[in-house]
Amino acid sequence: MAEAALERKKDENASLKKLVANHEIKWKEYEAKMQCTEKMWQNHLTSIQTRLAEAKRRHAAAAAEHGSSRLSKTTSERIKLKPCADTHHSQIKSEQEVSHISPKDELAKLKLKFKAWTKDFKNRLHEAKTTMKKLGQPAKGKSSKIWCGR
């Protein structure tokens, strides 16, 4: 009876050791995946920062050329990086997870992005028109003059 209990404990210990070994392997895989993801995010961040610096430099050169410091302030304020409102959009998805996304969900996400883009575009267009009016250059479009000379 004692030998049977000892044998069960040995079997239990062996199965637990296998389980621990499997968990260690998974842990190492997750660590490697996280390091790869972190490296990718660092590369993206570096790329975004260099593009932002280049855009600011080009804009500053254009502003100095045209002398519109007020315009440069508004665009530099608009360029600021905004934190993503939806955290699920910022998560990296593996190829397997991406393949499981339904086309309806993708379409819904694209529609939301498009609506946000159009709203932002309308706001920027309105800002540009008001800036042009302030600078003394009326926007093309509706004219107060009547073409037939009345």
Domain edges within the chain: 1-136
- pLDDT at position 86 is 47
| Two tokens, residue 148 | 């037939």
The model's pLDDT over 18-50, given as tens digits with 9 standing for 90+, comes to: 999 999 999 999 999 999 999 999 999 999 999
- What's residue 101's pLDDT? 77
Q: How do residues 85-129 score in pLDDT, each as one tens digit?
A: 444 444 445 544 555 778 888 999 999 999 999 999 999 999 999
pLDDT at residue 2 in the model: 87
